[in-house]
């Protein structure tokens, strides 16, 4: 496997900053360079040694890099791919951390990029490099979504990169990723947003850990999440439909005093949840 000397991070926020920190904390770390739009953030990232060098030009930032990681919202990644194509050699491996995969991977394939789709299931409701940590991916799951067109060597290199950052890996198709994440991530966000929106202000003082844990992710960045939900529209609508059906089943049992049916429903949920660690 060829040696990785330089990695470009496009978008040094919570995820990009954490990748930089994780890689730099290990032996034989590659040189990490970052692309910034904001001069103050660039200076701060260099001063705090998150990146070895910062650039305000994408062309300069990706020049001579073996790997370019796009750490941006989904739609911004899609828009940026043609520009990245222009300034990267075919040897440069392009990868990303976008929360949905089909639309990104399909654009990358159309442009015939040397691309490996990736999605680290890490992060938090917080955003920005100030919250980045070297341990963010430690033992967390990263999903790679190669297609038959993806180069085998590129997959191996991206696997090695994430293992270096401490992550566990899982490989599936972009479509399977989007269908699964609609249920395991996008739908829980919709539920959290709606639980908070449904709460009358006068009842705000009666919340405890149950409400707080269930709705923690409602604090997530609205722009980022609106972008994710639209980019995975079909799968998200399918998951939401199934969730509404389950919720109505429970309220129907309560309304019509169907005690044994409700109990069965709650037992099923408890058993399933106890098997998720």
Q: x/- binding map, residues 90-129, to its own copies, per CB under 8 A?
A: -------------------------------xx-x-----
Should residue 74 be labelled a site residue for its own copies when binding is judged by CB under 8 A? Answer: no
Should residue 216 be labelled a site residue for its own copies when binding is judged by CB under 8 A? Answer: yes
Should residue 226 be labelled a site residue for its own copies when binding is judged by CB under 8 A? Answer: yes
Q: How far is the C-alpha of 48 from the C-alpha of 45, rounded, in Å?
A: 5
DSSP 186-230: IHHHHHHHHHHHHS-GGGGGG--HHHHHHHGGGGS-HHHHHHHHH
Should residue 79 be labelled a site residue for its own copies when binding is judged by CB under 8 A? Answer: no
CA nearest to 114, candidates 105, 123, 122: 105
Please report how close the Cβ of residue 87 comes to its own copies at its closest, in angstroms: 30
Please report how close the Cβ of residue 193 comes to its own copies at its closest, in angstroms: 4
Please report how close the Cβ of residue 97 comes to its own copies at its closest, in angstroms: 13
The interface region with its own copies, picked from 14-22, 34-42, 82-90, 244-252 by CB under 8 A, is 244-252
Should residue 184 be labelled a site residue for its own copies when binding is judged by CB under 8 A? Answer: yes
Please report how close the Cβ of residue 201 comes to its own copies at its closest, in angstroms: 8
* Number of residues near its own copies (by CB under 8 A): 88
Q: Could you count the other beta carbons within 10 Å of the beta carbon of residue 68?
A: 26
DSSP 119-187: EES---S--SGGG--TTTTTT-EEEE---TTS-HHHHHHHHHHHHHTT-EEEE--HHHHHHHHIIIIIH
CA nearest to 12, candidates 97, 120, 135: 97
Query: Is 40 or 257 the residue whose CB approaches its own copies more closely?
Result: 257
Please report how close the Cβ of residue 243 comes to its own copies at its closest, in angstroms: 4
The interface region with its own copies, picked from 25-33, 100-108, 145-153, 261-269 by CB under 8 A, is 261-269
Should residue 148 be labelled a site residue for its own copies when binding is judged by CB under 8 A? Answer: no
Query: Is 57 or 247 the residue whose CB approaches its own copies more closely?
Result: 247
Query: Is 109 or 214 the residue whose CB approaches its own copies more closely?
Result: 214
Residue 15 CA to chain centroid, in angstroms? 8
The sheet with strand 141-144 has its strands ordered as 118-120, 141-144, 168-171
Strand (E) or helix (H) holding 55: strand 53-55
């Amino acid at each position: 496997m060829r040696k990785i000397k330089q990695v470009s991070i496009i978008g040094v926020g919570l995820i990009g900053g954490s990748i930089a920190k994780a890689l730099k904390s290990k032996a034989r770390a590659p040189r990490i360079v970052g692309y910034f739009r904001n001069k103050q953030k660039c200076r701060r990232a260099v001063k705090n040694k998150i990146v070895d060098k910062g650039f305000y030009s994408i062309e300069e930032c990706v020049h001579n890099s073996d790997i370019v990681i796009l750490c941006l919202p989904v739609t911004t990644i899609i828009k940026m791919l043609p520009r990245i194509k222009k300034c990267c050699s075919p040897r440069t491996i392009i990868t990303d951390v976008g929360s949905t995969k089909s639309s990104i991977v399909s654009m990358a394939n159309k442009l015939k990029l040397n691309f490996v789709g990736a999605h680290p299931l890490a992060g938090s409701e917080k955003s920005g490099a100030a919250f980045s940590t070297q341990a963010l991916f430690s033992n967390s799951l990263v999903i790679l979504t190669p297609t038959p067109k993806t180069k085998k060597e590129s997959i191996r290199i991206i696997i090695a990169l994430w293992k270096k950052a401490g992550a566990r890996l899982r490989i599936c198709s972009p479509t399977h990723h989007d269908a699964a994440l609609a249920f395991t991530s996008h739908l829980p966000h919709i539920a959290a947003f709606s639980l908070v929106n449904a709460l009358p202000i006068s009842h705000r003082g009666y919340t405890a850990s149950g409400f707080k844990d269930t709705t923690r992710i409602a604090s997530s960045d609205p722009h980022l999440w609106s972008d994710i939900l639209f980019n995975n529209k079909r799968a998200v609508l399918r998951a939401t439909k199934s969730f509404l059906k389950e919720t109505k089943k429970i309220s129907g049992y309560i309304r019509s005093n169907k005690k044994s049916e409700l109990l069965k429903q709650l037992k099923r949920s408890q058993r399933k949840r106890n098997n998720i660690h």
